[in-house]
Structure formats: C-alpha cells, structure tokens
Amino acid sequence: MNTSEAKGKLLLYRGSIDDAEPEFQEALEQARRDPELAEWLREQASCYDAIRAKLRAIEPPLGLAEKIVRRRPIPFPLDWSRIGQLAAAIIISATITALVMKLSEGRHRLVVSAQEILVTGEVLDMTCYIASNLSGPEHAVCARECIRRGLPAGLKTGNGKVYLLTGQPGQTVNAQLAELAAKIVTIKGKETRRDGFAQLQIEEIQKL
Amino acid sequence: MSPDPEFESLVKIYYRDLYRFGLSLTGSEADAADLTQQTYYIWANKGHQLKDPENVKGWLFTTLHRQFLNIRRRRKRFVHESIDEDAQNLSHISADVVNRVDAQTVLEVLGQIDEDYRAPLMLYYIEDLSYKEIAEVLTVPLGTVQSRIARAKIKLLQLLTKTKPVPPQSK
C-alpha cells in the first residue's frame, strides 16, 4: 500500500469508533512508520473533531423534547385478544341498546326512519377509533387488518359525525371497506339513527 | 395522558441527534423539528414491532430518513453542488479552516452538497454509528456509503476552504 492509497483509506478513519474495523489496520500500521503520513492523519483527526464539535453544538429549539412527549399518541400494540374484547364490548353494548329500544318501542318512537343520504368522510376501524382515537393514514395498516377480520367499520365526516357502516341486511361489506381503510370516500346509503347513534346502510361507495 | 418513562427516556437520549440529522437534510429548523416529532410519533405507534431492542437508535434514524424522503418527493429539489471525480484529490486541509467558521456556516456549506452524499456524511460526523449501521439506516450498500462519505468529505473541506471566515463580533 503506497502513501496515497493509505490516505484514501484513512480519510474515513474517525479514531476509536473505527478501531475495530479491519480495513484500517494496514493503513494505520503504515502511518506508524511514516512520519509524514502520521502528520497528515493528525490533521485529518483534528479536522474531523472540529467539524463534529461544530455540528454537535447545534441545539434543537427550546421545548421540542417536551412537545414530543406531550404529543405522544397512546401506544396501541396489535393485541388481537384485546381488540376482540373491545369488539365484543361494542357488539354487546349495541345489542343491549337495541333490546332496550325494542322493549320500549311501543312507548317511544326514537328511531328516525331511514332516509337516503350522500356522505363524504374517512373509513374508520371503529374498535381502534372508539377505544384509542386512532385514525388517519398513520393507522391505515391496523385499520385495514381490523376491518378485514370483521371488526365494525365506520365513516367519520369532516364535521366529526361518525356513522356505523353496514351492508344490506344479511350481507357483510368488510372485505370491500378493508381496502378503503383510512381513505376518504363518498357513500350513498340509508341513514338511520337511534339514541344519537347513526348507522349508514351502504348502497354505493365512491373513492375520491 | 399517563407518563411513559421509557418513551421520555428515548426522547431525552436521541432527540438532539435526530434534530441535527433532520436539520442537515432539510436545512430548515421547522422541518427538522417536525421530522423529529413525526419520528417519535411513529415510534409510539409502531416501536413495539422492533424485534431487536438494541437497534432503537438505528430504527429512529432510519424512520426519520424515510420521512424525509417522503417529504422530498413532494417538494421541488434544490440545486446542489455536484461532486465530480476531481474531488478525489486528497489535498492538505488544516483544522484552522474549520475553526474559523461557526456551526451555522458549516451547516450551510453542508447544505450545498447533494442529499445522497450529505446524509451519510452527517451520520459520519455526528453519530457514533459504524459504517455498516450507516448503510442500514440509508439502505444503501456498505461500499457505496464509504465512497459517498469520502467524496462528500473532500467536497465539504474544499467548500469550507473557500468560505469567508466569520468576522469577530463588535463590542
């Protein structure tokens, strides 16, 4: 290895952090024997240290760390047993509500009869949305998987209203909605409401 | 929201270095802060998927770099200094050349170098990552990383040599 080749190798040498790299050993050995090369290596090391010190002196804006911690989303690992429990809770809750309403149907007419509407919004996985407020592109993968596995899907409009999405009686729409998870779509369907809960029975979906 | 000591500890350890890396990539303090926040946001949602806990640092830098590449696709690219083959000249450059300029100037000069070269060079200077780890963060072959760092380093030193010193502050 001549001096020029040794310099080519040692140009990347950063000191102790690279000591374990075998590719520098021969060039370092040569620098121990060649005073001129050793001097060049010292200059390189000084340059490296000076630039590193300058760059490491740059400080982030004040309060950035606190802002990151404050805006931390609630961690939500894909724990399918927990998701199943949440889905079961939603279904049981909806069933109880439906039964209670059925029993009191004679006395109270709280169901708003179906009317055809056109709504635009984001396709949600209701389990994660209600439990952990997860939605948007960052949550698309999880939402797609949840809906694909049969968990309830919803639609959140621009003004924050959320619809439970269903197919025609006896038909599931989860396979179709899973592909649209976290995407903005326009849905034509029949809206029904009960006790503040809104359901949209899908007739047609348009992807925007 | 309940505190998460592990998350807060990760922020404390790495947020400065992530911000500096983001700043070197974008040249914008606001964009660097956004990239740093976004990286931790993704960590909070997906960090549990990391199989090797020893690789948290690499994971964070890889994620920040990917976020930057996503942003870059949507924005107009700046014209950067090209790195030509003449840059292989290993000229003698003293540390005094570096010491006469301030950190902001070094960052500005770094910003003149094409991103493909700037990213590995920044990791080379500010992070205690091996060449293999730098290659993994940027998802390029080890040999390519070393070649890019060598050429970018020479270019940086040449540009610093041409830079005017920072005048002493008047009292």
Stretch among A45-54, A112-121, A124-133 having the lowest mean pLDDT: A112-121
Judge if A190 and A101 occupy the same domain.
no
Cβ partners under 8 Å of residue A15, min gap 6: A45, A48
The runs of H, that is alpha helices, within chain B are 5-26, 29-46, 56-74, 95-99, 103-110, 115-126, 131-138, 142-162
CB contact under 8 A, B41 and A72: yes
Under an 8 A CB cutoff, do B157 and A61 touch?
Answer: no
- Does the distance separating the beta carbons of A72 and B4 come in below 8 Å? yes
Could you tell me the pTM of the whole model?
0.57
The percentage of chain A sitting over the pLDDT mark of 90, rounded to a whole number, equals 25
- Please give the structure tokens belonging to residue B72: 């870059």
| Mean per-residue pLDDT, B107-136 | 89
Neighboring chain A residues of B107 at a CB cutoff of 8 Å: 55, 58
pLDDT tens column, A180-189: 999 999 999 9
The pLDDT tens digits for A7-42 are 888 889 998 888 888 889 998 999 999 998 898 889
From A198's Cα to the closest Cα of chain B, the distance in A is 29
A148 and A91 in a single domain? The answer is no
Chain B residues close to A48, C-beta within 8 Å: 125
Same domain, A139 and A199: yes
A65–chain B Cβ distance below 8 A for any pair: yes
Q: How far apart are CA B144 and CA B149, in angstroms?
A: 9
Residue A39 belongs to some domain of the structure: yes
* A166 shares its domain with A73: no
Facing B11 at nearest CB: one of A56, A65, A75: A65
Mark which of A52, A85, A105 sits at the end of a domain.
Answer: A105
Closest residue by Cα to residue B4 from A77, A79, A72: A72
Q: Do B15 and A68 touch (CB under 8 A)?
A: yes
Residues A42 and A132 in one domain: no
A53, A133: one domain: no
Give the pLDDT of residue B78.
45
Q: In CATH, what number is assigned to the domain containing residue A181?
A: 2.40.50.500
Q: What is the ipTM of this complex?
A: 0.77
Q: Are both A7 and A89 inside the same structural domain?
A: yes
3-state secondary structure of B167: coil
pLDDT digits (tens, 9 = 90+) for B59-90: 999 999 998 988 776 554 444 555 554 434 55
Contacts of A71 in chain B (CB under 8 A): 37, 41
Burial group, residue A121, by CB count within 10 angstroms (0-12, 13-18, 19+): buried
Do A199 and A153 sit in the same domain of this protein? Answer: yes
Same domain, A151 and A73: no
Q: How many domains does chain A have?
A: 2
Any B CB within 8 A of A42 CB = no
Which of A61, A77, A105 terminates a domain? The answer is A105
Chain B residues in contact with A67 (beta carbon < 8 A): 37
Decide: A142 and A78 in contact? Cβ < 8 Å: yes
Question: Considering the domain boundaries, does residue A122 fall inside one?
Answer: yes
Question: Judged by CB atoms within 8 Å, which residues 30-89 of B form the interface with A?
Answer: 32-33, 36-37, 40-42, 44-45, 47-48
Quick check: A136 and A182 in contact, CB under 8 A? Answer: yes
Longest dimension (CA), chain B: 57
Residue B31 Cα, gap to closest chain A Cα (Å): 12
Q: Which of residues 103-142 of B touch A (CB under 8 A)?
A: 103, 106-107, 122, 124-126, 128, 130-131
Position A186 in a domain: yes
Q: Does A145 touch chain B (CB under 8 A)?
A: no
All domains of chain B, ordered by start, with CATH? 5-71 (1.10.1740.10), 83-162 (1.10.10.10)
Buried b (16+ CB within 10 A) or exposed e, A13-27: bbeeeeeeeeebeeb
A78-109, pLDDT tens digit by residue?
A: 567 777 888 888 888 888 888 877 776 655 54
Which of chain A's residues have a Cβ under 8 Å away from the Cβ of B41? 71-73, 138
| Cβ contact, residue pair A12, B29, below 8 Å | no
Q: Which residue of A has its CA nearest to B103?
A: A54
The answer to whether the beta carbons of residues B12 and A65 sit under 8 Å apart is yes
| Residue at B119: amino acid letter | A
Same domain, A141 and A123: yes
Q: How far is CA B123 from the centre of its chain?
A: 5
- The model's pLDDT over B9-33, given as tens digits with 9 standing for 90+, comes to 889 999 999 999 999 988 888 888 8
Q: Are A73 and B48 in contact (CB under 8 A)?
A: no
Alpha-carbon torsion (A63, A66, A71, A76), positive or negative = positive
- Decide if A12 touches B, using CB distance below 8 A: yes
Question: By residue range, what is the domain housing residue A96?
Answer: 3-105
Looking at A83, A105, A127, the residue that finishes a domain is: A105
Q: Which of B1, B125, B146 sits opposite A55 (nearest CB)?
A: B125
Q: State which residue of chain B sits closest to A51, comparing Cα positions.
A: B98
A110 within some domain: no
The answer to whether residues A13 and A100 belong to one domain is yes
Give residue B171's pLDDT. Answer: 42
Q: Do the Cβ atoms of B110 and B24 come closer than 8 Å?
A: yes
